[in-house]
Chain A
Amino acid sequence: MSENGKPKFAMYWAASCGGCEIAVLNINEKILDVDANFDVVFWPVAMDAKYKDVEAMPDKSILLTLFNGGIRNEENEHLAKLLRQKSQILVAFGSCATEGCIPGLANFSSKEQIFDAVYEGVSTDNPDHTRPQYNYDMPEGILHIPPFYPQLKTLDQVVDVDYFMPGCPPESHQIAAVVELVIKVLNGEAELPPKGTVIGAGPSTVCDECGRKRNVKTITEFVRIHEIENIDPELCLLEQGILCNGPATRSGCSARCPAVGAACIGCYGPAEGVVDYGARMMSAVASVIDSKDPAEIDAILDGIPDPAGSFYRFSLPHSLLRAGKSAWSNGNS
């Protein structure tokens, strides 16, 4: 409790795009409830604050911390540990923190490959082949930038996490609901869910909220969305040959993408209890391919040009393998 008697609230972004922050602002007037009920002590995007201020806080003095973004470098991990230490409730907020999300796609490549792309790429003019130095001697002393990890990790891979809130970004109405819940809890009107619960999402998958008509599924070909003349606005996209991740993706987003004719790409992550999101999609999609002949099966599968990308777009760092072999051999070879 701070002197004004309000519980403390913090929000931090690690390796992320900032969309989660915007999503929080998108809860509109509800944001006022946040201010009314919380004392915002640390939120780099919204207000000025120094790490040392946080370090100075007593342990567990922050009631609620929404942590978004993955763990990409030493600084991210340091802040994750620091905020864990200072917070009572640490929420992995958004797809990056829960699963790795788009930044996690970097786990297909080794650190070298990433640096090559960034510092030597066609769009880069770097005649001296300069690469970042973690330590650099200056007259003023040693300059230090946080080392870049071989892989991006999810929040729960570096610290203990209380709740997980998926979404890229989490739907604003879900955020509002969570905020509301926490406030209720504060006023003793509700109970916190058990530790480890996924909050701000449904128990089932996107199809549950999807309005499209569904039949028994058999897939004879896969097409990219731009390849078909007119998509049936009523019919299940998967049945039209469009690789839609809806069946394997946790509900909670109100099936926004399928609703407007765009395939679900899986930002809400796996359903309750699922160990590996990509494996679920693979198994489901492959099972309904309408062929018994290996050659024909392969021909149909050719319609999925980038399986790993399609099935692990948001969840690679949290999948069983976590990263491609090159990202593993990084530094270990």
Chain B
Amino acid sequence: MSKEQNQPQNDKERVGVYICHCGSNIAGVVDVEDVAVWAKEELADEGVVVSRDYKFMCSSLGQEMIENDIKEQGLTRVVVAACSPHLHEQTFRTACGRAGLNPYLSELVSIREQVSWVTTDKQMATEKAKAMVAGGVERVIENEPLEPLRVPIHPATLVVGGGIAGIQAALEIADAGNQVYLVEREPSIGGHMAQFDKTFPTLDCAACILTPRMVSVGEHPNIELLTWSEVERVDGYVGNFSVTVRKRPRYIDVDLCTGCGICWEKCPKKVIDEVFEEGIGYRTAVYTPFPQAVPKYPVIDAETCIYFQNGKCRACEKLCPTGAIKFDQEEEILLLDVGNIIIATGFETFDARRIPEYGYGRLANVFTSVEFERMCNAAGPTEGEIVLRDGVTKPESVGIVHCVGSRDRNYNNYCSVICCMSSLKFAHLVKERTGAEVYNFYIDMRTAYKDYDEFYQRVMEEGVLFVRGRVAEITDATRNPGEEGKLVIQVEDTLAGRQRRIPVDMAVLAVGLQPRSDTKELTKKFGISCSAAGWITEKHPKLDPVATMTEGIFIAGAVQGPKDIPTSVAQGAAAAARVLSRISMGEISLEPVRATVDEAKCSGCRICNNLCPFNAIIFHEDRMVTEINHALCQGCGTCVAACPAGAISGTGFSNEQIMAQIDGLLAFSFPQNGDLVEMVPV
């Protein structure tokens, strides 16, 4: 009751304060020695008995310093003022633990990210650092010893997305002897890679290296492959997710189907294949996207199937030798229990129609790189013939435009990474198959990584022409006989320093990669976040690229940002490794940040009852009290803040801790006339 009156006077706790220089990162702006001395003097009443500054607190020497003080000085609380807790909180907690102090009796104050790196005025910075240290000290005194929560890990794993990254991840985990569910939206796995003919820089055939992987996924005893399916919702938490998957009806009985192909050979309904053939090829209403599809079973696309549209036809049904066609098949809802989730849903390509001056969609012979991939593919609409839109004429000259929708303020600022190399690949294929003149219009050539630049050299030696400059316009408005009947590429050649009009028969737009249009729903479904551009945010850009902020959810491949095949594969394997280590540990420990109801205080008013999106709050009608299920509680603290009776307490972020931190932060105001003055008497 009278708590408010007596200021936090602390005689029992012995607090150690450690100010990190972080080389010059902090010491360059904050007067760390001053802060250390100040803490020792000004915060003595608060119980500060040790206060030091050191070059690198996170170094083993820095940690030892803390450990020794805990042992020798009998510290009962530790405050480290260094970098963000998201980087080193664990480091210093572990150090305390080693010295026999409960890890949660330490606090990490971020005077690098929140002070030295963002402040110019050194004095102000130092004062802010002092205030934050004071806040940390006041808070840590209120910290309670906690034990991390141990959560068992369900050994099964969900992989979302059957592109090369997802395939790699699934195989790694399954080979290690664990159950994997691989969910793919399309009728077959394989993703973008399956569309390609050759892969840079080695030019080995995509199908030849991908198909074996796809087959082993299909045959793997530990992989349950769910194609033509989508994740509906995700409940639960790390170690114990329960995932709802919607399996769309194939209208094919896969137990009877042999994949013989009669149905799609005989299907009278031809439609443009906007997905796998990127709109330049056709498929039938019953189809597999490509010959090597896994699984081999086709799907019937009810949107276009004549029978579904007007009740007639049923040709496939009549002709199917095994009677596998099942028009009455219905969608299934599957419930999967998994411990970890890997998201590998990949990318979409930039819609070239958004740049009208490039004429895509208006000018027949302007193609996108994905259309061109299909065109080059021996199994594609032209059997690998490189021809104009008329389907017969071979081009005598081809212009490849780089950075379409990439590195462009109007569209995407970022570099799409793969376009330079795939454009070089195209240039090579055109030379090889048509002998046509090839121009590459580029801003910069970006051919980093193993053997890439060598490939660039090779293509140049093959006589491909390179023009440095962003293309202004592609037009069929000709100005002289030489341009007659051609596409004219208007560009400023920034090396020659002049405007050029280059007539070509065919223009290929190297469209950039961008996040899938349904990324927002994805992030909501899985409770993860994405960057402003829409790429999924990794836990740490350098040190933890395949984990997300959400425990138990990992990412692999282009869903995290533009990537080529080798990197996607590497990430798939990396994500798998992270999952495997957890499975083998059998359990993980989580932050013990949880809410608890004091039943004596709970009046059963039920204010909190529908505040929890994780349904962790249970009301006991019989006793008229509310209880919180720690397994389900995610520790957001909303109910703690809402409880009118103050009956709910939250570990890790208790009222006492936060109130004390406020006291500390405000105990000293900004310097007026140079020196600290008290804002409110402490």
A and B touching (Cβ–Cβ under 8 A): yes
Chain A CB within 8 A of B642 CB: yes
Q: Is the CB of B609 within 8 A of A247?
A: no
CB distance from B605 to the nearest CB of A (A): 4
How far, in whole Å, are A320 and B1 apart by their CA atoms in the complex?
A: 12
Q: Is the CB of A274 within 8 A of B646?
A: yes
Q: Is the CB of A216 within 8 A of B609?
A: yes
Chain A CB within 8 A of B638 CB: yes
The tally of residues in A whose CB lies under 8 Å from a CB in B reads 35
Q: Is the CB of B610 within 8 A of A284?
A: no
- B164-193 toward A: CB 8 Å interface, digit per residue (1/0)? 000000000000000000000000000000
Q: Is the CB of B4 within 8 A of A207?
A: no
Identify which of residues 161-218 in chain A touch chain B, using a CB-to-CB cut-off of 8 Å. 161, 164, 196, 198, 203-208, 214-218
CB neighbours of B259 from chain A (8 A): none
Identify which of residues 246-278 in chain A touch chain B, using a CB-to-CB cut-off of 8 Å. 246-248, 251, 270-275
Q: Is the CB of A217 within 8 A of B607?
A: yes
CB neighbours of A133 from chain B (8 A): none
CB neighbours of B1 from chain A (8 A): 156, 164, 196, 198
How far, in whole Å, are A214 and B606 apart by their CA atoms in the complex?
A: 7
Q: Which of B81-89, B278-286, B596-604 contacts A (4 or more CB under 8 A)?
A: B596-604
CB neighbours of A216 from chain B (8 A): 606, 609-610, 619
Q: Is the CB of B642 within 8 A of A287?
A: yes
User: Is the contact region of chain B dominated by helix, strand, or loop, or is it mixed?
Assistant: loop
Q: Is the CB of B610 within 8 A of A218?
A: yes
Identify which of residues 595-651 in chain B touch chain A, using a CB-to-CB cut-off of 8 Å. 600-611, 619, 624, 638, 641-647
Chain A CB within 8 A of B2 CB: yes
Contact of A272 among B5, B606, B642, B646 (CB under 8 A): B646
Chain A CB within 8 A of B123 CB: no
Do A203 and B607 contact each other (CB < 8 Å), given the known contacts A275-B3, A280-B644, A283-B641?
Answer: no
Contact of B644 among A161, A215, A218, A248 (CB under 8 A): A248
Specify which of B1, B3, B611, B647 lies most central, judged by the most chain A CB atoms within 10 Å of its CB: B1
CB distance from B374 to the nearest CB of A (A): 45
CB distance from A66 to the nearest CB of B (A): 17
Specify which of A161, A164, A272, A273 lies most central, judged by the most chain B CB atoms within 10 Å of its CB: A273
CB neighbours of A143 from chain B (8 A): none
How far, in whole Å, are A208 and B643 apart by their CA atoms in the complex?
A: 14
Q: Is the CB of A284 within 8 A of B644?
A: yes
Chain B CB within 8 A of A91 CB: no
How far, in whole Å, are A218 and B642 apart by their CA atoms in the complex?
A: 13
Contact of A280 among B5, B608, B646 (CB under 8 A): B646
CB neighbours of B644 from chain A (8 A): 205, 247-248, 271, 280-281, 283-284
Identify which of residues 265-305 in chain A touch chain B, using a CB-to-CB cut-off of 8 Å. 270-275, 280-281, 283-284, 287-288
Q: Is the CB of B603 within 8 A of A251?
A: yes
CB neighbours of B2 from chain A (8 A): 156, 161, 196
How far, in whole Å, are A283 and B648 apart by their CA atoms in the complex?
A: 13
Do A208 and B606 contact each other (CB < 8 Å), given the known contacts A196-B1, A275-B4?
Answer: no
CB neighbours of A164 from chain B (8 A): 1
Q: Is the CB of B609 within 8 A of A205?
A: no
Q: Is the CB of B638 within 8 A of A205?
A: no
The chain B residue with its CB closest to the CB of A290 is B610
Do A215 and B603 contact each other (CB < 8 Å), given the known contacts A270-B646, A280-B644, A284-B644?
Answer: no
Contact of A287 among B4, B611, B659 (CB under 8 A): B611
- A142-170 toward B: CB 8 Å interface, digit per residue (1/0)? 00000000000000110001001000000
Q: Is the CB of A284 within 8 A of B643?
A: yes
CB neighbours of A275 from chain B (8 A): 3-4, 655, 659
CB distance from B211 to the nearest CB of A (A): 49
CB neighbours of B606 from chain A (8 A): 214-217
CB neighbours of A287 from chain B (8 A): 607-608, 611, 638, 641-642
CB neighbours of B608 from chain A (8 A): 287
Q: Is the CB of A207 within 8 A of B610?
A: no
CB neighbours of A156 from chain B (8 A): 1-2, 5
Q: Is the CB of B610 within 8 A of A205?
A: no
How far, in whole Å, are A218 and B600 apart by their CA atoms in the complex?
A: 24
Q: Is the CB of A246 within 8 A of B605?
A: yes
Q: Is the CB of B603 within 8 A of A206?
A: yes
How far, in whole Å, are A316 and B62 apart by their CA atoms in the complex?
A: 49
CB distance from B653 to the nearest CB of A (A): 15
How far, in whole Å, are A206 and B601 apart by their CA atoms in the complex?
A: 11
CB distance from A165 to the nearest CB of B (A): 11
Q: Is the CB of A271 within 8 A of B647?
A: yes
Contact of A203 among B600, B609, B624 (CB under 8 A): B600
How far, in whole Å, are A243 and B638 apart by their CA atoms in the complex?
A: 21
CB distance from B611 to the nearest CB of A (A): 6
The chain A residue with its CB closest to the CB of B602 is A204
Do A247 and B601 contact each other (CB < 8 Å), given the known contacts A271-B646, A271-B647?
Answer: no
How far, in whole Å, are A205 and B607 apart by their CA atoms in the complex?
A: 12
The chain A residue with its CB closest to the CB of B641 is A283
- B644-673 toward A: CB 8 Å interface, digit per residue (1/0)? 111100000001000100000000000000
* Interface residues, chain B, with chain A CB atoms under 8 Å away: 1-5, 600-611, 619, 624, 638, 641-647, 655, 659
Q: 11 additional contacts, CB 8 Å, given A204-B602, A238-B605, A272-B646?
A: A207-B605, A216-B619, A247-B603, A248-B645, A271-B644, A274-B645, A275-B3, A281-B644, A284-B642, A287-B607, A287-B638
The 6 A-B pairs of least Cβ separation, nearest first, read A284-B644, A248-B644, A208-B603, A247-B644, A207-B603, A247-B605
11 of the cross-chain contacts (CB-CB < 8 Å) are A205-B645, A216-B609, A217-B607, A217-B610, A238-B605, A246-B605, A271-B601, A273-B646, A275-B655, A287-B642, A288-B611
